[in-house]
Each structure stands twice: as C-alpha cells, then as structure tokens.
Amino acid sequence: MAGFLDKAKQAAQQALDEAKKGIDTGQSKLDEHQAKRETERLLAEVGAAVYAQHRQGGSAEAVTAALAAVDTHVATHGLVGFPSSAVVPGPTAAGPASSDPPPPPPTTQPGPPQT
C-alpha cells in the first residue's frame, strides 16, 4: 500500500511541476507581448513627435523626450517588438556596437567601359 501512495505522491508532484512550468511559460509570453505593445506605443509617439516637428512646427524637445522614452524601454526590455527592418547594428544609448571604426564609403572611379 505504501508503494501505491508513493507513486500517487510522485505523480501529483510531477503534475504540479508541469503546471508551474506552464504558468512560467505563459507569464513569459504575456510579459513579452506587453513589452511589444509598449514598443509599438513608444514608436508611435516618436513618429507623431517627428511629424509634428516637421509639418506642424512641433518642438525638438518633444522628439528628444520620445526618443529618451524609447531608449529607457530598450535598456529594460531590449529590442523586443522592433521591426527587424528597423534594427541595424550601430551606436545605441549604451554606446557603439563595436570599437572598430566604420569602413570608408566605396569610391567609384571613372574608367573605360567593361565588356
């Protein structure tokens, strides 16, 4: 009889462990979704501030404040929610992506046509 109770206890513990794992996974996905929504909201604020500055006489301070909010969010959550086309290597609020200087731009020299 003791063997049966041990097996039942072990099965209950395993079910509890699986439930906790599921809850942790769900919470992680919820946190990521909320970070993405906040990213979208902050980027919309940046866009609105830039549009107002360029088309409606808005202030540069509003753009700077909106960008600072994005920098704070990125420092906390990383680039979660940023469109992949918007993520480019380079300087961030934390500093340059690399200590190497950028390569010089390509130069084109006129020459004879190639056949």
pLDDT in tens, 99-115: 556 666 666 555 565 55
Higher pLDDT, 71 or 110: 71
Q: Are 52 and 62 in contact (CB under 8 A)?
A: yes
Lowest mean pLDDT among 30-34, 67-71, 102-106: 102-106
Residue with tokens 């600072």: 68
Q: Which residues contact 49 (CB under 8 A, 6 or more apart)?
A: 58, 62, 63, 65, 66
Helix axes 60-77, 2-55, angle to 10 degrees: 160
Name the residue among 38, 36, 41 with its Cα closest to residue 84.
36
Judge whether 97 and 90 are in contact, CB under 8 Å: yes
Would the pLDDT of 1 be above 50? yes
Full-model pTM: 0.60
How high does pLDDT run on average in the chain?
83
